[in-house]
Amino acid sequence: MSKWSDPKWIREELSRKWDSGRILRYLLIQDDLFPLRMPLKRPIRSDVNENFAEISRWIKILKDNSNQTIGFGYELIEKEMVHRQSGRNYLPTHAIIPSVQDALRLLKKEREADKFMELAQIIKTEWPILNEWISKYPHKVLRASDDWSGILAVLKWFFNHPRCGLYLRQLDISGIDTKFIEQRKGILAELLNIIMPRDTIVQNAQSFELRYGLRVKPVQIRLRLLDHEQFIQGISDIMIPVEQLAAFKPAVSKVFITENEINGLCFPEIKKSMVIFGLGYGVDVLKAVAWLKEKEIYYWGDIDTHGFVMLDQVRSFLPQTKSLLMNESILLSHRDLWSVETKPFFGQLTRLTPDEHRLLNLLQGNTWDKGVRLEQERVSFQQVQKAMEIFKN
CB of 354 closer than 8 Å to CB of 331: no
Q: How many helices (H) and strands (E) does the chain have?
A: 19, 11
Which residues on adjacent β-strands are paired with residue 298? 256, 322
Residue by residue, DSSP assigns 244-266 as: HHHHH--S-SEEEEES-HHHHHT
DSSP-derived letter for residue 38 is E
Q: What is the pLDDT along the chain (393 residues), one digit of tens a residue?
A: 468 999 999 999 999 999 999 999 999 998 999 999 999 988 776 666 667 778 888 889 999 999 888 999 999 998 877 655 555 677 899 999 999 999 999 999 999 999 999 999 999 999 999 999 999 999 999 999 999 999 999 999 999 999 999 999 999 999 899 899 999 999 999 999 999 999 999 988 888 999 999 988 888 899 999 999 999 999 999 999 998 999 988 899 999 999 889 899 989 999 999 999 988 778 888 998 999 999 999 999 999 999 999 999 999 999 999 999 999 999 999 999 999 999 999 999 999 999 999 999 999 999 999 999 999 999 998 889 888 988 876
The pLDDT score that the predictor gives to residue 90 is 79
Beta bridge partners of 95: 38, 76
Q: Which amino acid is at 103?
A: A
Residues 6+ apart with CB under 8 A from 350: 312
> Is the full-model pTM beyond 0.85?
no
Query: Is residue 224 helix, strand or coil?
Result: strand
On whether the CB atoms of residues 233 and 348 are closer than 8 A, the answer is no
Which domains does the chain show, CATH number per domain?
7-107 (no CATH), 111-211 (no CATH), 220-392 (3.40.1360.10)
Q: How far apart are CA 127 and CA 122, in angstroms?
A: 9
Q: What is the pLDDT of residue 43?
A: 79
R_g of the chain, CA atoms, integer Å: 34
pLDDT at residue 344 in the model: 94
Query: Residue 1: its pLDDT value, please?
Result: 45
